[in-house]
Amino acid sequence: MKPAKLHYWTLGWFSMALCCWCASDTFTQSDNHPHPWKKLYFAHHWPVTVCKMNANDCHDPPKYWTIHGLWPDRAEDCNRTWHFNVTEIKDLMSDMRHYWPDVLHSSLNRTQFWKHEWDKHGTCAATLEALNSQKKYFGKALELYQHVDLNGCLLKAGIKPSSSYYKMTAIKEALTSFYGVTPKIQCLPPEEGEKAQTIGQIEFCFTKELQLINCMAPKGESNPVQAHLKLGTEELSVCNDTLPTYYPSEVQGHK
C-alpha cells in the first residue's frame, strides 16, 4: 500500500474508532429504528400505596409524594450502550435519597432504581439538550419536583392522608385549578369486598419545552404510557371518577 493511501486509511479507521468511542458517552439513537416521542410524563407515587402493593421489603415509607420517574412517551431503552454511572450524580445524592427513594427496596442498593430509570427512560429523554446527560436528567426531575410541589398543592386544597374517603372529582378539580392542566391520576382498584379505590400515582405532563400540558390523550388517540407500577397481580390503573377514593396514611391490608 502506498504511503498516501496508508495515511488516509489509517486516518479513516481512527475516525471511525473515535466515533464509536464517543457514542458510549453521548446520545445516539438506534441504527435500526428511531425513538420519537412527543411529551414527558413526570410521575409521583404515594409510598404508602406502593408498600400496600408489596410489603416484602417496604418499611416505614415516606409520608410525602416521591418521584417515580420522568418518562418520554412512546420511547424506552433508547441507548443500551450509555450505562448509568452514579458518580455523575454525586452532587445530587442528598436530594435523590429524599425525593426519589427506592420505596420498595429500602434495605438494598438504592442506585438500582435510578439505574433502571436512566436505562429505560433517561436515555430517551436525552434527545433534549436540557436532559442530555445523567446529571441534567436527574437534576431536572428534582427541579420539576420542587416546581410542581404536589405535596403543598394537596395540603392547600385540604386533601391529606386520612381514614375517610375523598371524591375523585374533588381531587381532580383541585389539581386542575391549581396547575391549569389535567394530570393523570392512577389508583389501586378496590379489593374484593371493598368499595373504595386507593390513590397511588399522579403524573404531570410536559412538552419538550418543559411546559405543563394536559396528560389525557385526545379523543380517539390511545395513551402511549400505561401504568408503570405492577406488583404481582396488583396494578395501578386510571382512577374511576365514581368510586370513593382512599388516600391512606398508614400501610394496612398487606397481602
Rounded Cα distance, 10 and 7, in Å: 5
User: Which one of the listed residues 117, 203, 250, 254 is annotated catalytic?
Assistant: 117
Distance CA(120)–CA(37), nearest Å, equals: 14
Beta strands in 46-194 (DSSP E): 66-72, 165-167, 184-188
Residue 254, helix vs strand vs coil = coil
Determine the residue type at 153: C
What lies within 8 Å, CB to CB, of 111 at 6+ separation is 84, 86
Decide: 51 and 103 in contact? Cβ < 8 Å: yes
Distance from the first to the final alpha carbon of the chain: 73
Burial of 195 (0-12, 13-18, 19+ CB in 10 A): exposed
Per the annotation, the verdict on 121 as an active-site residue is yes
Antiparallel, parallel or unpaired: β 197-206 and 244-246:
parallel
Question: Which residue out of 7, 35, 59, 68 is catalytically annotated?
Answer: 68
Per-residue HEC secondary structure of 25-42 comes to CCCCCCCCCCCCCCCEEE
Catalytic option among 121, 194, 228, 250:
121
Q: Cell 430517551 maps to which residue?
A: 124
CA distance 151 to 49: 15
**Residues designated as active site:** 68, 117, 121
